[in-house]
């Protein structure tokens, strides 16, 4: 006899049972929302109903940071302490909330109401320091307002959305999600109607001609990816949206999802038509509960209007989207780890090849792109590739979103055509460096590299940044003024990777821990002779030998700092 009333869980599991293991994450999320954590009897019932071995279920629970096998408070308060929030006082907010509730991080208050956690990036970098109190996002949290924070009271995260152009962000910055009616009034879903009147090959050709490359960091040509999946043998085929935006400093996809959800959905439907897919998955990170609600509601709207489901717009084309929520694992932003997560497994990256276009989700041909990439697709189809290429440069065409955070007057999301200078982005759009002069700029997030004052006139294109040794990445531009201690910043970046390494390959598992140990020692002023050589050796070993992009880029920022500021790594 169970000590828990399992009847609320049964109603959920009865719907999920036919899907088997692929329903494991939804089942665990549902169970945790009912019981606040995942007690043994509940886990055993999920295992039995979904026919997943109990050891496998516990393996998944232990892998994801947001699943709790032991009791936690009814409200979990997550305080971001990654670099964008750390430099703005995240540690002080964490300490203040813990003192107010008389608990240490990770402990439960005596009344069982709260647990406070140090959190990795919450994707609210322009509102630093940020807090997620239950499902309520709070921006610019103030240590003096600990009582309000525990009650979920604070500044709502509606920030600056601007730039030289407003194409991808045309419906953003208005304080709430654009409804289906508003999206349609702005010519929404017109591109889908146009695409459905074209041959799939013609849609792919238009995307190829546009020069669009992935906006998640890898910059792989989108049309080439779609063509590979179109030509691949095997059915069914899948389209997956990667909304697991977890890179510190990155928040563009969050803004697009929360404020213009139908644009991404339209891009996914066009992609599905182009490659011949009838099923799609929208995978969103667990730290975006509001975004999950907005996208879920938009999918229902689209389905009700005939844009999703069977015989879309009388075209004889069927396609539908299923939501999937992550549970706190940065590695699931890697495409194959994301597939494993959807399939109900731990998010370990796969060895490549084979590649997703031939062997992706459930071993079938799959197209996976991120939110910003899909948002470009309706623009390309509606206007045509030649018109799209009027934005940007010959080799970096189109509009681009940049996430500007840190020590600037107006942190926010800025849309510009490729080719503007970094100086224009920082000084003209973001209002310049605040509280002092510029010390450093981190490009590409935690996996990026540092720039200095000397790089301000570089053009924001793939080719120009590459020539300067800077990665465009996902569009992160994180600014640090001269008052910031870069040793502490590097320690924070190292902590992020050490905490997020999945441990599948030893170069990353051991290398990220060793890098964190060395940088912690440096930040504490305990330098030892030869530490810089040790850091360099560890860094290049991870670059050369790690299985996936996490380990391959975990030392990029550190190696660039060693080159720029050797004096940081001495007595």
Quote the CA–CA distance of 182 and 433 in Å, as a whole number: 36
Cβ–Cβ under 8 Å, residues 77 and 97: yes
Q: Quote the CA–CA distance of 290 and 259 in Å, as a whole number.
A: 11
In a domain, residue 69? The reply is no
Please report which confidence band the pLDDT of residue 251 belongs to, taking 50, 70 and 90 as the band edges.
very high
Tell me, what's the pLDDT at 1? 55
What is the pLDDT at residue 4? 81
Which residue, 89, 124, 150, sits at the end of a domain?
A: 150
Task: Give the DSSP H or E segment for 399.
Answer: strand 399-406
Do residues 465 and 526 share a domain?
no
Assign 166 a pLDDT band (cuts: 50, 70, 90). Answer: very high
Same domain, 426 and 450: yes
Q: How confident is the model over 259-283, as a mean pLDDT? A: 98
DSSP codes, 537-560 = HHHHHHHHH-SSHHHHHTTHHHHH
Find how far residue 475's CA is from the centre of its chain.
12
Reported confidence tier of residue 214, pLDDT bands at 50, 70, 90: very high
- CB within 8 A of 557, min separation 6: which ones? 442, 446, 447, 448, 449, 450, 490, 493
As a whole number of angstroms, the distance between CA 543 and CA 541 comes to 5
| Domain end position, chosen among 117, 150, 183 | 150
Average of pLDDT values for 102-113?
96
Q: What is the CATH number of the domain that holds 80?
A: 3.40.30.10
Kindly state the tokens that stand for 303: 């389905």
For the residues 6-35, what does the mean pLDDT come to?
96
The DSSP secondary structure of 292-350, one letter per residue, reads: HHHHHHHHHHHHHTTSSBSSGGGSS--BEEEEEE--S-GGGGSHHHHHHHHTTS--PPP
Residues contacting residue 509 through CB under 8 Å, at least 6 positions apart = 501, 502, 503
Task: Pick the last residue of a domain from 342, 362, 388.
Answer: 388
In a domain, 393, yes or no: no
Residue 2 within any structural domain of the chain: no
- Residues forming a β-bridge with 369: 241
At residue 343, the pLDDT reads 98
**CA distance linking residue 136 with residue 152, whole number of Å:** 6
For 208, the domain range is 161-388
Q: Which residue has the tokens 């069977």?
A: 310
How far apart (Å, rounded) are the C-alpha atoms in residues 509 and 97? 32
Q: Which pLDDT belongs to residue 157?
A: 78
Q: What average pLDDT does the chain have?
A: 96
Phi first, then psi, for residue 309 (nearest 5°) are 110, -150
Going by C-alpha positions, the residue among 126, 240, 106, 225 that lies closest to residue 173 is 126
CATH code, domain carrying 217: 3.40.50.11540
Residue 527: pLDDT band by 50, 70, 90 thresholds? confident
Largest CA-CA distance found in the chain, in angstroms, rounded: 72
Q: Name the token pair of 128.
A: 């630093």
At 50, the pLDDT band (50, 70, 90 cuts) reads: very high
Evaluate if residue 267 carries a pLDDT over 90: yes
| Residue 223 within any structural domain of the chain | yes
The average pLDDT across 106-133 equals 96
Does residue 320 form part of some domain? yes
Domain count, the chain: 5
Q: Is residue 68 part of a domain?
A: no
Q: What does the pLDDT average to over 409-426?
A: 97
User: What is the residue-wise DSSP string for 120-135?
Assistant: S--S-GGG-S-EEETT
* Residue 218 pLDDT grade (very low, low, confident, very high; cuts 50, 70, 90): confident
User: 494 and 476, same structural domain?
Assistant: no
Per-residue pLDDT at 485 exceeds 70: yes
Per-residue pLDDT at 2: 67
Neighbours of 524 (CB within 10 A): 11
How far apart, in whole angstroms, are the C-alpha atoms of residue 150 and residue 145? 9
pTM to 2 decimal places: 0.96
For residues 289 and 279, the answer to whether their CB atoms sit within 8 Å is: no
Q: What percent of the chain has pLDDT over 70?
A: 99
């Amino acid at each position: 006899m169970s000590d828990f009333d399992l009847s609320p869980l049964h109603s959920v599991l009865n719907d999920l049972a036919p899907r088997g293991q692929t329903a494991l994450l939804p089942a665990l999320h549902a169970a945790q929302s009912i019981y606040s954590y995942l007690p043994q009897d509940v886990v055993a019932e999920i295992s039995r109903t979904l026919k997943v071995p109990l050891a496998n279920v516990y393996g998944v629970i232990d892998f994801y940071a947001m699943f709790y096998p032991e009791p936690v408070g009814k409200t979990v308060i997550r305080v971001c302490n990654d670099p964008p929030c750390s430099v703005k006082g995240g540690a002080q907010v964490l300490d203040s909330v813990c003192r107010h509730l008389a608990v240490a991080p990770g402990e439960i208050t005596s009344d069982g109401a709260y647990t406070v956690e140090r959190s990795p990036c919450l994707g609210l970098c322009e509102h630093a320091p940020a807090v997620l109190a239950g499902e309520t996002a709070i921006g610019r949290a103030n240590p003096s307002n600990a009582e309000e924070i525990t009650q979920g009271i604070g500044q709502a995260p509606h920030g600056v959305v601007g730039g030289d152009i407003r194409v991808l962000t045309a419906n953003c910055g208005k304080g709430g999600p654009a409804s289906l009616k508003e999206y349609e009034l702005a010519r929404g879903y017109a591109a889908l109607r146009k695409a459905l009147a074209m041959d799939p090959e013609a849609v792919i050709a238009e995307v190829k001609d546009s020069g669009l490359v992935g906006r998640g960091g890898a910059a792989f040509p989108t049309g080439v990816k779609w063509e590979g999946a179109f030509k691949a043998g095997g059915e069914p085929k899948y389209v997956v949206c990667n909304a697991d935006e977890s890179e510190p400093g990155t928040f563009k996809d969050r803004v697009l999802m929360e404020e213009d959800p139908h644009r991404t959905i339209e891009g996914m439907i066009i992609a599905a038509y182009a490659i011949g897919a009838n099923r799609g998955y929208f995978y969103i990170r667990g730290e975006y509960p509001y975004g999950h609600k907005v996208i879920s509601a938009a999918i229902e709207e689209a389905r009700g209007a005939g844009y999703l489901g069977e015989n879309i717009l009388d075209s004889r084309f069927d396609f539908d989207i299923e939501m999937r929520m992550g549970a706190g694992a940065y590695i699931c932003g890697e495409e194959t780890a994301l597939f494993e997560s959807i399939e109900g497994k731990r998010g370990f990256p796969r060895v490549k090849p084979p590649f997703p276009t031939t062997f992706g989700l459930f071993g079938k041909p799959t197209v996976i792109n991120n939110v910003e990439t899909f948002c470009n697709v309706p623009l390309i189809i509606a206007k045509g590739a030649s018109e799209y290429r009027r934005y940007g440069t010959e080799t970096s065409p189109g509009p681009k979103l940049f996430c500007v955070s840190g020590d600037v007057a107006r942190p926010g999301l800025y849309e510009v055509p490729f080719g503007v200078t970094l100086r224009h982005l920082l000084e003209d759009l973001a209002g310049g460096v605040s509280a002092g002069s510029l010390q450093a700029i981190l490009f590409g997030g935690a996996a990026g590299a540092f720039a200095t004052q000397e790089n301000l006139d570089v053009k924001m294109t793939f080719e120009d940044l590459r020539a300067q040794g800077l990665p465009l990445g996902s569009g992160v531009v994180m600014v640090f003024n001269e008052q910031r201690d870069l040793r502490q910043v590097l320690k924070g970046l190292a902590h992020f990777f050490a905490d997020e390494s999945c441990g599948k390959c030893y170069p990353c598992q051991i290398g990220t821990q060793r890098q964190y140990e060395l940088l912690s020692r440096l930040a504490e002023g305990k330098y030892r002779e030869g530490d810089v050589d040790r850091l360099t050796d560890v860094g290049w070993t991870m670059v050369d030998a790690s299985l996936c992009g996490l380990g391959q880029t975990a030392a990029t920022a550190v190696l660039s700092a060693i080159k720029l500021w050797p004096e940081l790594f001495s007595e």
